[in-house]
Chains A and B, each alone.
Chain A
């Protein structure tokens, strides 16, 4: 594992896809840095370029332009094979649908072992990881015998085993119920505590609340970036301008109404 404090960086990352009508720009130059042990949540409307951005970060595609460094290693000019190797050793990936991450003929422990050995990892902490992810009790079960939440936690366990520099998750909670989402959200801090770095695409407010960094992508470009200041949680403003407040903030407005005061560069919320 690298001793660097940055797991990955990208500079002016661009991607263009061919189409019948001519080249279509999917990403128009994105700069971002992903500190070790952080959770970055990427949000944006459908078709904004989130998935393309994640695929580039996961080394599944070669960017049309720009630079991407993972664990201090540039991905520019890498052959397909070298890119695959880098992705296998340095990047973990979690699909949106829990079942898509798993093989139906392996049990939980075999899945994690497989991921570790595919990553050529000597990580002996498979049992600890199963405990951390709450899967120790179902270690001998196969995917069909797991709930969707357990399946997705197993997918995260597979993604983090062997300590890859970066773990990418594409809408990991989209198919989970609130309880399973909460369990997943609760898991992420435990994994970041192990030094794991996450880049997650999500619209789920529960996921966004634990983000250390928030990237808003619109029309293939970085529309906004927000970072957690101290312990202050981040909130998402959707396209309609709505924002979800943390629970402790909501209790301050017992009447269910709020007055918005714009004062210079600040926005204040006051009880009416």
Chain B
């Protein structure tokens, strides 16, 4: 056990703190370990965040009360309620008793907001002081409602909260008296406050469960809603001889949302409570009586788990790639450590320290900063995921998984460091003298490229687009793995070729001194330059690739969902009605007519849908992408002008199956006449691959015509107003303009929910790419720090022999610029190539046009270029500053 005793000797005992004396190496190791921690640990954190985001998306974009539990019962208006007589039907529950029973049942369940109790008092007649003006108002009482109303005017006196529409209708203001008539019983009340009518303002999500009550959804035309406090409403109803009132108890997730862990604990418990309330033999059931209780647990958890699976499958390869880059930088750091410790390793080896002991020394020196960096990586990864991830809610067990993964990654990295130190120790002690051949860079790229080829073969030979084939709609791992492999393999080979032999030296032979010097330095440091350029290219490539993929996917998803609707919002109008030109909304809208061809048409073409458009206004209200057609939209619209001579109607044909000239068969109904079938001969004057309003509901081809031409033919059915804005108040503006809106379709509602995790995953991938870029910069910094100390004497002597400071700085900048510039060019070019190759495999919904839209993310290239430039300037400044501040005499004294 002599070697164990040797570990107590100063070189090993002091090893854990030795790296403190090598600031640049320490910095590089810590940062690389941080990246390792982020890449390794952020995956479970991100997956947990994505799962939580899916739940919270259901909560925020859907309705929180639908995710939680809703208990609907009849409550007694008497307080206390009537005593129950055994054998008689269960009477309505007393409100307070019901609330207490339910609160007791849910006590201890995590993440639930306090109960929201709503009482539906029905419709009442309301009169002001001037009895001549009356109106109707729905009476409601809801916990916390007042915090979600936009108050216009308020007084201290208690009473009713009236919407401003009703207040205007009956001519009252806050503080004045009104009379409510419920069940023909009048009750005088004071108007406590006037608020903006809930149907005329942008409501917050707290009203989501009452949309039916407030809006009616076209089923009814509900009167405006007024509010009373619970006690006043119960007293009013009781005074009006109404014994019961419909009551809702709603338990929604708390303000901080849910994690999958909380959801899996809470939702099944709520389901059990719901069952219990429905069982009249149970204490809760017998207390609450008949009614319904709903919990939407299963779909919420299933959606969340789908998101987790999608995120996990998508981010896995890239997280692995990021960890690989970090590991590579750590290995470079290990080699740098070995070179810095060359003398020490030799001395210790001569005193009997074998490669094993030297490897232990390497691990002892690099272990602490790596462990600290890994731990910091978890903390930073946690913060990053919570800050820029899909959701800030992360399960506690995800943190444990992250810690385990990072522990494993750090252990692997330390093992790799030990191997490098062991091999280096052997080479420096016994074998170096007997083997004068210099070790070569291992040629690993062909193996990586072979894997990339296999991945691409697998992708290309699949029968259906990858995303469609993948369960849960996630991005196939191969779509992400292939580019990383392609980037790494090609970047490595290109970097080798760039710095091979004396090509670089020769090519810069006629350049100025600084460029010549910089190129010679890179060429001489080829063994370090090649891995650094490869790392830079891979990390930059990941950023550009993921940015381009994300931009393309977003554009494609947006195009697919908006294309079918035709615009961001489409409003169906009850009857043909021109939009008043003076109305403000008219400036952002266009009117269209949508009809389908009847079955009487000729057989020369496939049955088509017809879209009548207003050429003058269509462009401002409809969605358009230049990939839809080879011609511009304005050019296509201009071609639709009806001919003066009455010849065939010009149309734009969208989709397959339409000849250049054919006859459309449509149902026409002129005023006062019966529906008749008419034939219109049309001439195709333009074609498009896709067109607004096309392909969402069916795969039939679309014929675009001038709307006026349809109107002249008596075809005025199904008019719609299209608005290419997402503003939810457009509906009320259309109503204000007198348009009879019967339904609304929004593109945002049609975005496939399963695709959202893909976008999250791509954001994550970009983040990992950026982090990998940071660690690459650290590697570059380490490289320069390691060579700068050896180069100080040469630089100092050269400066004294006449080389100007400007040339010295420019040559270092050139050296760094060559490496980072090469990394930027290689990474950007290869990533564009990779996206082009896998592009067809990311179609999220191949049955909906258009095919994937390519969007090159130039922004990420600019960000990377700026980052490389900043790194060049900073590292150059530091290196030159360090070189300039050491006196020549000191350098000469310590010169090797």
Q: Spell out A's residues near B (CB within 8 Å).
A: 17-19, 55, 58, 60-62, 80-81, 83-85, 87-89, 93, 99-103, 105-106, 110, 114-115, 117-120, 158
B352 an interface residue at 8 Å Cβ cutoff? yes
B798 contact set on A, CB distance < 8 A: none
Q: Contacts A17-B436, A18-B436: A114 and B351 contacting too (C-beta < 8 A)?
A: yes
A-B residue pairs, 9 tightest by C-beta? A88-B352, A118-B351, A118-B352, A93-B350, A61-B434, A80-B430, A61-B433, A103-B344, A84-B354
Interchain CA distance A89-B352 in the complex, whole Å: 7
9 contacts between A and B (CB under 8 A): A17-B436, A18-B437, A60-B430, A83-B430, A85-B352, A88-B353, A89-B352, A102-B347, A117-B6
Q: Shortest beta-carbon distance, A122 to chain B, in Å? A: 12
Chain A residues whose CB sits within 8 angstroms of the CB of B670 once the complex forms: none
Complex CA–CA separation, A85 to B2 (angstroms): 11
In the assembled complex, which residues on chain B have CB atoms less than 8 Å from the CB atom of A17?
Answer: 434, 436
Query: What is the bound-complex CA distance between A99 and B426, given in angstroms?
Result: 22
Pair A118/B6 contact, Cβ less than 8 Å: yes
The residue on A at minimum CB distance from B894 is: A99
Q: Is B349 engaged at the interface, CB distance under 8 Å to the other chain?
A: yes
A80 to B5, CA, bound (A): 22
Quick one: closest B residue to A19, CB to CB? B436
Query: Besides the contacts A17-B434, A84-B352, A87-B350, what 8 more A-B pairs have beta carbons closer than 8 Å?
Result: A19-B436, A60-B350, A61-B430, A61-B434, A62-B434, A84-B354, A84-B429, A105-B14
- Cβ-closest chain A residue relative to B350: A93
- Expressed in whole angstroms, the Cα–Cα distance for A61 and B353 within the complex equals 16
Q: Measured between C-beta atoms, what is the minimum distance from B320 to chain A in Å?
A: 36
Q: Are A117 and B5 in contact (CB under 8 A)?
A: yes
What distance in Å separates the Cβ of A246 from its nearest Cβ neighbour in chain B?
34
Please pick, from B11, B433, B436, the residue contacting A103 in the complex, using a CB distance under 8 A. Answer: B11
Shortest CB distance A58–B (Å): 8
Chain A residue nearest to B426 in the complex (CB): A80
Residues of A within 8 A of B265 (CB): none
Report how far A17 CA is from B9 CA in the complex, Å.
Answer: 36
CB-CB nearest in chain A for B344: A103
**Residues of A with C-beta under 8 A to B11:** 103, 106, 114
CA distance A21 to B869 in the complex (A): 46
Bound-state CA distance A224–B430 (Å) is 30
Given the known interface contacts A93-B350, A103-B347, A119-B352, the answer about A55 and B433 at a Cβ–Cβ threshold of 8 Å is: yes
Closest beta carbon of chain A to B450's beta carbon, Å: 32
Expressed in whole angstroms, the minimum distance between the Cβ of A8 and any Cβ of chain B is 17
Tell which of B14, B18, B351, B435 touches A88, judged by Cβ atoms closer than 8 Å. Answer: B351
A60→B429 contact, CB < 8 A: yes
Contacts of A93 in B (CB 8 A): 350
Cα distance A19–B435 when bound, in Å? 9
A114–B6 Cα distance when bound, in Å, is 9
Is B709 at the interface (CB under 8 A from chain A)?
Answer: no
Interface residues of B in 435-452 (CB under 8 A from A): 435-437
A97 to B637 Cα, complex, angstroms: 87
* Alpha-carbon gap, A46 to B730, bound state (A): 94
Residues of A within 8 A of B437 (CB): 18
Least CB separation from A158: chain B residue: B351
Q: Closest A-chain residue to B14, C-beta based? A: A105
Which residues on the B side are within 8 Å of A105 (C-beta)?
10, 14, 18, 21
Q: Mark B423-435, 1 if CB is under 8 A from A, else 0.
A: 0001001110111
CB A135 to nearest CB in B, in angstroms, measures 17
Query: Is B799 part of the binding interface, using a Cβ–Cβ cutoff of 8 Å?
Result: no
Q: Are B433 and A118 in contact (CB under 8 A)?
A: no
Q: B434–A87 contact, CB under 8 A?
A: no
Task: Assess the A87–B18 pair: CB atoms within 8 A.
Answer: no
Q: Are B9 and A118 in contact (CB under 8 A)?
A: yes
Closest to A93 in B: B350
When distances are taken between beta carbons in the complex, the residues of chain A under 8 Å from B349 are 84
- A247 to B250: give the CA distance in the assembly, Å: 112
Whether B14 contacts A84 by the Cβ 8 Å rule is no
Contacts A62-B434, A83-B430, A84-B429 given: A114-B352 contact, CB under 8 Å? no
Contact check: which of B10, B343, B353, B434 meets A100 at CB < 8 Å?
Answer: B343
What's the minimum C-beta distance from B674 to chain A, rounded to whole angstroms? 102
Contact A120 B2 (CB under 8 A): yes
Q: Is B346 an interface residue (CB 8 A)?
A: yes
Kindly report which residue of chain B lies nearest to residue A55, judged by CB atoms.
B433
The residue of chain B having its C-beta at the shortest distance from the C-beta of A91 within the complex is B350
Q: How far is the CB of A85 from chain B (nearest CB, A)?
A: 7
Q: Tell me, rounded to whole Å, the shortest Cβ–Cβ distance linking B79 to chain A.
A: 84
Q: Are B352 and A87 in contact (CB under 8 A)?
A: yes
Taking the closest CB of chain A, its distance from the CB of B349, in whole angstroms, is: 7
B813-870: which have CB < 8 Å to A? none
A114 CB contacts on chain B under 8 angstroms: 9-11, 351
B354 surroundings in chain A (CB, below 8 A): 81, 84
A127 to B9, CA, bound (A): 19
Q: CB-CB < 8 A to A89: which residues of B?
A: 352
B891 in the interface (beta carbon within 8 A): no
The CB with the most chain B CB atoms within 10 A, among A18, A60, A62, A89, is that of: A60
Decide: B9 and A100 in contact? CB cutoff 8 A: no
- Encode B1-30 as 1/0 by CB contact (under 8 A) with A: 010011001110010001001000000000
CB-nearest residue of chain B to A94: B350
**B348 lies within 8 A of chain A by Cβ:** yes
Q: Which residues of A contact B344 (CB under 8 A)?
A: 103
On chain A, the residues within 8 Å of B350 by CB distance are 58, 60, 87-88, 93
In the bound complex, CA of A120 to CA of B353 (Å): 12
Residue of B nearest to A89 (CB): B352
Residue from A18, A87, A118 in contact with B348 in the complex, judged by beta carbons closer than 8 Å: A118
Question: A102-B347, A105-B18 are contacts. A60–B433 as well, Cβ < 8 Å?
Answer: yes
Interface centre among A19, A83, A84, A115 (most CB of B within 10 A): A84
Shortest C-beta distance, B212 to chain A (Å), equals: 78
Which residues of B have CB within 8 Å of A87?
A: 350, 352
B436 CB → nearest A CB, Å: 6
What CA separation (Å) do A103 and B11 show in the bound complex?
9
The docked-state distance in angstroms from the alpha carbon of A177 to that of B453 is 65
Return A28 CB to nearest CB of chain B, in Å: 17
Identify A84's interface contact among B18, B21, B347, B430, CB under 8 A.
Answer: B430
Q: Nearest Cβ in chain A — how far from B790, in angstroms?
A: 15
Task: Please indicate the chain B residues that have their CB under 8 angstroms from the CB of A81 in the complex.
Answer: 354
Contact with A along B531-564 (1 / 0, CB 8 A): 0000000000000000000000000000000000
Query: Do A118 and B353 touch across chains, with their CB atoms under 8 A apart?
Result: yes
A1 to B437: give the CA distance in the assembly, Å: 38
Measured between beta carbons, the chain A residues less than 8 angstroms from B431 are: 80
How far apart are B353's CB and chain A's nearest CB, in angstroms? 7
Q: How far is the CB of B807 from chain A (nearest CB, A)?
A: 32
Interface positions, chain B 723-756, Cβ under 8 Å from A, are none
Complex: A114 Cα to B12 Cα, angstroms:
11
Complex: A218 Cα to B790 Cα, angstroms = 36
What is the bound-complex CA distance between A18 and B431, given in angstroms?
13
Residue of B nearest to A83 (CB): B430
Among B2, B9, B344, B430, the most chain A Cβ lie within 10 Å of the Cβ of B430
Q: Mark B569-598, 1 if CB is under 8 A from A, else 0.
A: 000000000000000000000000000000
Smallest CB gap from B21: residue in A: A105
Give CA–CA (A29, B397) in the complex, Å.
Answer: 70
Q: How far is the CA of A120 from the CA of B435 in the complex (A)?
A: 30
Bound complex: CA A251 to CA B349 (Å): 48
Residues on B with beta carbons closer than 8 Å to the beta carbon of A88: 350-353
Question: How far is it, in angstroms, between the C-alpha of A117 and the C-alpha of B353 when the chains are bound?
Answer: 11
| Interface contact B347-A101, CB-CB below 8 Å | yes
Q: Determine the residue in chain B with the shortest Cβ distance to A86.
A: B352
Interface residues of B in 650-697 (CB under 8 A from A): none
Min CB–CB distance A241 → chain B (angstroms): 33
Task: Return B819 CB to nearest CB of chain A, in Å.
Answer: 30
Q: Which residues of B contact A118 (CB under 8 A)?
A: 6, 9, 348, 351-353
Q: How far is the CA of A117 from the CA of B6 in the complex (A)?
A: 7
Q: Decide: A100 and B347 in contact? CB cutoff 8 A.
A: yes
Least Cβ distance of A117 to chain B in Å? 6
- Shortest Cβ distance from residue A96 to the other chain B in the assembled complex, whole angstroms: 12
